[in-house]
C-alpha cells in the first residue's frame, strides 16, 4: 500500500486529507509538529509522498524540507499552505512536486498526488 505522511498542525486538515486519501487507497499518517516529523524521519522508511505545511510548531516547513532531503531522497513533497506569500518566495522546484493553497480546497492536491504516486 502506498504511504503518505501529512505534516500539518491543524488536526481538521489532517482528518480531512486523511479520509480523502484513505478513500483513494493510500495508507496515511499525520504528525502535527516539526519534532514529531523529525522523529519519523529517523525511525521510519521513506513514504511515497509527503504533504507539508510551512508554518508549524517547533520547526518551519522549509527547515524540514532541507532536512528530509538528506534522508528521504525520493519522496514526492507537496506543500499545502494557507499562506500564499510563500508561493512566490519558495523557489525550491528541485525539492517539491507541487505547491497548493489551503484556501483552494483539496481536489487539485489529491489529483496531483494520485498522478505522482500511481498504483501499479
Q: What is the pLDDT of residues 25-68, one digit of tens each?
A: 999 999 999 999 999 999 889 999 999 998 898 888 878 887 88
Q: Look at 17 and 91; give whichever has higher pLDDT.
A: 17
Who's near 118: CB < 8 A, 6+ residues apart?
Answer: none
The answer, as to whether pTM is greater than 0.75, is yes
DSSP class of residue 75 equals -
Q: Please name the residues in contact with 82: beta carbons below 8 A apart, sequence gap of 6 or more.
A: 53, 55, 101, 102, 103
Whether 51 is covered by a domain: the verdict is yes
> Does a structural domain hold residue 97?
yes
Beta-strand ranges (E) seen in 1-120 are 3-7, 27-31, 49-52, 76-81, 98-101
Q: How many structural domains comprise the chain?
A: 1
Q: What is the mean pLDDT of residues 61-76?
A: 86
Three cell numbers at 27?
495508507
Residue 12 is given by DSSP the state H
Dihedral sign for Cα atoms in the order 63, 69, 70, 75 = positive
Q: Is residue 120 part of a domain?
A: no
Residues sharing a CB contact under 8 Å with residue 73, sequence separation 6 or more, in sequence order? 46
Q: Is the pLDDT of residue 9 over 90?
A: yes
The enclosing domain of 80 has a CATH number of 3.40.50.2300
Can you tell me the mean pLDDT for 18-25? 96
Residue 56 lies in a domain: yes
Using the predicted structure, report yes or no on whether residue 92 has a pLDDT greater than 80.
Answer: no
Amino acid at each position: 500500500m502506498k504511504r503518505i505522511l501529512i505534516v500539518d498542525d491543524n488536526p481538521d486538515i489532517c482528518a480531512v486529507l486523511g479520509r480523502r486519501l484513505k478513500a483513494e487507497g493510500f495508507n496515511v499518517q499525520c504528525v502535527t509538529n516539526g519534532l514529531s516529523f523529525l522523529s519519523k524521519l529517523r525511525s521510519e522508511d521513506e513514504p511515497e509522498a509527503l504533504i507539508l505545511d510551512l508554518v508549524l510548531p517547533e520547526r518551519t516547513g522549509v527547515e524540514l524540507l532541507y532536512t528530509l532531503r538528506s534522508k528521504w531522497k525520493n519522496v514526492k513533497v507537496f506543500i499545502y499552505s494557507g499562506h500564499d506569500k510563500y508561493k512566490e518566495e519558495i523557489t525550491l522546484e528541485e525539492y517539491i512536486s507541487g505547491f497548493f493553497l489551503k484556501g483552494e480546497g483539496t481536489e487539485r492536491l489529491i489529483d496531483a498526488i494520485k498522478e505522482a504516486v500511481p498504483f501499479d
